[in-house]
Chains A and B, each alone.
Chain A
Amino acid sequence: DAKTTQPPSMDCAEGRAANLPCNHSTISGNEYVYWYRQIHSQGPQYIIHGLKNNETNEMASLIITEDRKSSTLILPHATLRDTAVYYCIVPSGRSSGYALNFGKGTSLLVTP
């Protein structure tokens, strides 16, 4: 199963773009990259996922490098409500039901 590496914490000023990096150098060809976030005391919330191409939705953009060994989640205009732990995940294989292995994530603090 591919593992991911994220910085433990990051800061971002309100209104600026937050760029959260993730390394997944052992990812295989058909494995997707998922991003979730967890605001304190709530259940995790899905943000976005992708395979090869860059993806964008109403919450964020996902940039995946051409070799697929790393990706960046971009929150284009961070708000105080974006303060949360962000998890970059490559799901486990079929034998584990493609379970999500959350790791420790990146704690993002958005400041006024």
Chain B
Amino acid sequence: ETGVTQSPTHLIKTRGQQVTLRCSSQSGHNTVSWYQQALGQGPQFIFQYYREEENGRGNFPPRFSGLQFPNYSSELNVNALELDDSALYLCASSLGTGVNTGELFFGEGSRLTVL
């Protein structure tokens, strides 16, 4: 186990609803990244938070938003859910950010189904 915990593990929503996913990072880690993994695909980078500030963002629309709290835990919020948002959402924590950040520790993910 990596020490990164995500909740909920599974959830079902309907189109147009909003969802909040939560992530507790490994102790001592100040950076959290979120990834979306559709069925049969590799994880796609959504965004990263470093010391409570967004530090990078992938090609996702603004309805995907996030927060990082002083204890470095994080939330991913998705508004106006679409069917294509159905995926496994992965959270990863690390210490710092940089060209040689090293190992990212991933949680087991939250599986979202949008009906």
A interface residue numbers (CB < 8 A to B) = 30-32, 36, 42-46, 49, 51, 85, 87, 91-92, 94-105
Q: How many residues of B contact A (CB 8 A)?
A: 31
User: Which residues from chain B contact A103 at a C-beta distance below 8 Å?
Assistant: 42
Does B45 contact A100, Cβ atoms closer than 8 Å? yes
User: Which residues from chain B contact A104 at a C-beta distance below 8 Å?
Assistant: 41-42
Q: Complex formed: what's the CA distance from A30 to B98 in Å? A: 11
A-B contact count (CB 8 A): 72
Q: Complex formed: what's the CA distance from A99 to B94 in Å? A: 12
Does B99 contact A30, Cβ atoms closer than 8 Å? yes
Of the 9-residue stretches B13-21, B69-77, B100-108, which lies at the interface with chain A?
Answer: B100-108
User: Which residues from chain A contact B43 at a C-beta distance below 8 Å?
Assistant: 44, 100, 102
Interface: B58 (CB within 8 A): yes
Q: Complex formed: what's the CA distance from A3 to B90 in Å? A: 22
Interface: B27 (CB within 8 A): no
Instruction: Please give me the residue from chain A that is nearest to B97 by CB atom.
Output: A97
Does B106 contact A97, Cβ atoms closer than 8 Å? no
* A111 to B: closest C-beta gap in Å: 22
Q: Complex formed: what's the CA distance from A45 to B106 in Å? A: 7
28 contacts between A and B (CB under 8 A): A32-B100, A42-B108, A43-B2, A43-B90, A43-B92, A43-B109, A44-B43, A44-B106, A45-B106, A46-B102, A91-B101, A92-B56, A96-B57, A97-B47, A97-B48, A97-B50, A97-B56, A97-B97, A98-B99, A99-B56, A99-B58, A100-B33, A100-B43, A100-B45, A100-B104, A101-B45, A102-B35, A103-B42
Instruction: Please give me the residue from chain B that is nearest to A44 by CB atom.
Output: B106
Q: Given A42-B108, A102-B43, is A96 in contact with B99 using a C-beta cutoff of 8 Å?
A: no
Apart from A46-B105, A49-B102, list 19 A-B contacts with CB within 8 A. Answer: A31-B99, A43-B2, A43-B92, A44-B104, A44-B106, A45-B106, A46-B102, A91-B101, A96-B45, A96-B57, A96-B58, A97-B56, A97-B97, A98-B56, A98-B97, A98-B99, A100-B43, A101-B45, A104-B41
